[in-house]
Chain A
Amino acid sequence: MMSGEPNQTTLPHWLKVVLIGRNPRVTIIRLAVTVVLLVCTARFMLIPIRMQGPSMRPTYEDRGINLLNRLAYLRRGPSRGDVVAIRLAGPSIMFMKRVVGLPGETVEFIDGQLYVNGQPQKEPYVKFPCHWDMPKQRLSPTQYFVVGDNRDMPIQDHTFGVAERARILGRVLL
């Protein structure tokens, strides 16, 4: 008599269920749907971003990770104090700044103090000394004034100013 083939080791049933589910076809479909949802969320709704540069210190540190909420301004425009992402030619690289002026308002800096419509603004997020002077600017109905929280450097070294509504992609979530 010839000996039979050696016993093949098989996975325990419970382990098979844990790994691939009771119905592998359904598991694959669920996996595919999950991947598609994750990709759509990360691409169009909540975009992971990596922050670089000192302009938003100390609120956000260099090399930090955050999320951009692309749906934040579907129904309303940015509000004063929102930290927003402003696109350049596209969404790969964006400026991250805080909204301090709304459409139709005037914005100016006098010895580091921000004035909106002639009224001094309290800015608790600005921790470093600032001595900027900037003449009054009036914003059009589609413009917002954005600036970083770190105003310790000379005004010429800081990228800030008027951003068109169409360039504001969303609000930083965290």
Chain B
Amino acid sequence: MKWLGRLFLVAAVAALGWWLWQTLFPGDEAQIRKLLARTARAASFSSRDGALRRMGSIAEFGNCFTPDVQVYFDMPRQGRFALEGREQMIGLAARSRDSVVAVSVTLVDVSVQLEPDHLSATAGLTARADISGEVDFSVQELKVFFRKVNGQWLIYRVESVKTLSAIRPESNLRTT
């Protein structure tokens, strides 16, 4: 039975070592997942946030994107809209804090595909937004495109995915 104890000890040390390695030297996919989690956290806010925290989270949100980021959304109720550039993303984050009291954004079912060159990647995910004052949460399937810039992964394109598509009365494409 001594050997069983030693086997458990070796397995525990190996697991700890693997965890430490993953934490200190995360792979590309882990970095991308961390970036997505950071983006969701920065997009979330509550009425209790002070001015400093608010500014910090808006800046952090903007830093998740490349300067030439492109965002294309086509969603029920919101219609179609497009954004281009990091400045517009920062503006959107600031305006959302003015128009809504609190939002909690979570990203679920994230699947990451790395390109063979390990310099670009794509992720499919579902974004869930719990907006204060609304009974039901909003969901949207998204496709997010990443690029490695100076060793750091950043988002350069976001598209909404039409899970259910139907021909409806056309709404004009608007840019903000």
Task: Give me the interface of A with B, judged by CB distance under 8 Å.
Answer: 52-54, 62, 86, 88-93, 95, 97, 134-135, 137, 145-146, 155-163, 167
Contacts and interface: CB of A to CB of B under 8 A. Distances in A.
Interface of B: 76-77, 79, 108-111, 124-126, 128, 135-137, 139, 141-142, 161-169, 171
A62 to B, nearest CB: 8
A162 B108 CA distance: 23
Given A89-B126, A157-B77, A134 B167 contact: yes
A86 B164 contact: yes
A161 B165 contact: yes
21 contacts: A62-B136, A86-B163, A86-B164, A88-B161, A89-B110, A89-B124, A89-B141, A90-B126, A91-B109, A93-B108, A95-B164, A134-B166, A134-B168, A137-B167, A156-B77, A156-B168, A156-B171, A157-B76, A157-B77, A161-B162, A161-B165
B126 A93 contact: yes
A90 B109 contact: yes
A137 B135 CA distance: 32
Contacts of B137: 52
Given A90-B126, A93-B108, A159 B164 contact: yes
A52 B136 contact: yes
A126 B118 CA distance: 51
A90 B111 contact: yes
B136 A53 contact: yes
A92 B163 contact: no
Contacts of B135: 62
Nearest to A109: B166
B140 to A, nearest CB: 8
B109 A93 contact: yes
A93 B139 contact: yes
B164 A161 contact: yes
Contacts of B139: 88, 93
Contacts of B164: 86, 95, 97, 146, 159-163
